[in-house]
Structure 1
Amino acid sequence: MKQGEAKNEIREPFTDYGTYSYADYLTWQIDEMVELIKGKVFKAAAAPGRKHQEVSLKIASQLYYLLKNKTCKVFEAPFDVRLPAHSEKNEDIFTVVQPDICVVSDRTKLDEAGCIGAPDLIVEILSPGNNPKEIYNKF
């Protein structure tokens, strides 16, 4: 908690350029999709376009039918993938991404919040709106 903040005060993102954790992320009441990469907030571009959604649906559908009777699960954004460095505590996780599509075969990585740890497969569909900084940092 930063100096001068009340214990129950909700910290909104983008108000300063500090380092944020998944615990902070969970308190934000915003409508837009954001991701945390090494504690820094990255706003998603505007809603994906029609072509992006068509490609996403085709890939996710094929994966779903391919893996239908397997232990693997297919998820589409928005779906939080938390990447802990040292601890799985929310306040110690500084990278949370929302891949367009991901496949998780180890069901112990799944909880109500999404996935904790790297999925077995991640698909990111690039769009003209993706900026180089976003692509570099997310990669």
Structure 2
Amino acid sequence: MEENRSNSVNEPAAEYGPYSYADYLRWDLEEMVEIIKGRYFKMNAAPKRLHQKISLHIATELYQFLKGKPCEVYEAPFDVRLPVKSLKNEEIFTVVQPDICVICDPKKLDEAGCLGAPELIIEILSPGNNKKELQYKYEVYEESGVKEYWIIHPNEQTMLVYTLKADKYVPSRLFTSGDSVKSACIEGFVLDLESLFMEME
């Protein structure tokens, strides 16, 4: 049987694992990584300028809207740990860095980031990471109880919203420029996609 070296390696390798948050803390890497169900994923190179403009636009709107409210918005890089059975570092096997997340329970926030499911997660698709966002992260966000998961496709100028109902995600219709999208979990927050996608011009 091949030796499991998840507790002895100083950097991730595809043939070892599963990896935990304890491993993640020990790695000394130049690039950023995420762990999803014990499997590590290298983050893409620095996001493109358009990606950053869209992220900043949405985060700014959320920040302004949430002033004076209990919820807080954070942008990547920001570690979100999604435990399954235990809160121990060596037993947490998913650590992600969503582009944007909103946390409404202050008990989930600590100096390391967020421990537990945010209410809202927003991911902005970039070339090369679509499978990770659309498949792997979809699964862990649903299983962890993220109430809303927004996926934005800048090149196509579209947005899809997944809302958690009875522990399963229910997809919205495909939103496009000209639509206004209301959050189901951040009451009163509406994102104007026409204004958002004007950032691309």
What TM-score, normalized to structure 1? 0.89
Q: Whose Rg is larger? A: 2
Distance 1:73 1:30, change over 3 A: same
Provide the rounded CA distance (Å) in 2 between the counterparts of 1:37 and 1:124.
15
Q: Which moved more, 1:14-23 or 1:105-114?
A: 14-23
Q: Partner of 1:132 in structure 2?
A: 131
1:117 maps onto 2:133 in alignment: no
Q: Hey, what's the Cα distance between the residues in 2 that align with 1:109 and 1:54?
A: 28
Q: Comparing both structures, which one devotes a greater share of its residues to strand?
A: 2
Aligned twin of 1:86: 85
In structure 2, the partner of 1:97 is 96
| Mapped partners of 2:130, 2:69: distance in 1 | 36
How many residue pairs end up in the alignment?
Answer: 136
- SS of 2:41's equivalent? strand
1:10 to partner: Cα distance? 5.5
Residue 44 of structure 2: aligned partner: 45
- Offset of residue 11 of structure 1: 1.9
1:38-88 CA distance string (max 9 Å, x none) = 000011111100000000000000000000111111100010000000000
| Residues 50 and 138 of structure 1, relative CA distance in 2, 3 Å threshold | same
What secondary structure is seen at the aligned counterpart in 2 of 1:23?
Answer: helix
Query: Partners in 2 of 1:109 and 1:133 — Cα distance?
Result: 24
TM-score between both structures, scaled by the size of structure 2? 0.63
Asked whether the 8 Å contact 1:11–1:27 carries over to 2, the reply is yes
Match of 1:13 in 2: 12
Query: Secondary structure of the residue that 2:124 maps to in structure 1?
Result: coil
SS for the counterpart of 1:71 is coil
- CA–CA separation in structure 2 for the residues paired with 1:16 and 1:111: 32
| Stretches (4+) displaced over 3 A | none
- Following TM superposition, by how much is the alpha carbon of 1:134 offset from its aligned partner in structure 2, in angstroms? 5.0
- Corresponding residue of 1:108: 107
Once superposed, what is the RMSD of the aligned Cα atoms? 2.0
Q: Which residue of the partner structure matches residue 21 of structure 2?
A: 22
Secondary structure of 1:74's partner? strand
Greater RCO (CA < 8 Å, at least 6 residues apart): 1
CA shift, 1:30, in A, is 0.6
2:65 paired residue number: 66
Gapped regions of structure 1 (runs ≥ 5): none
Task: Verify the 8 A CA contact 1:42 1:134 in the aligned structure 2.
Answer: no
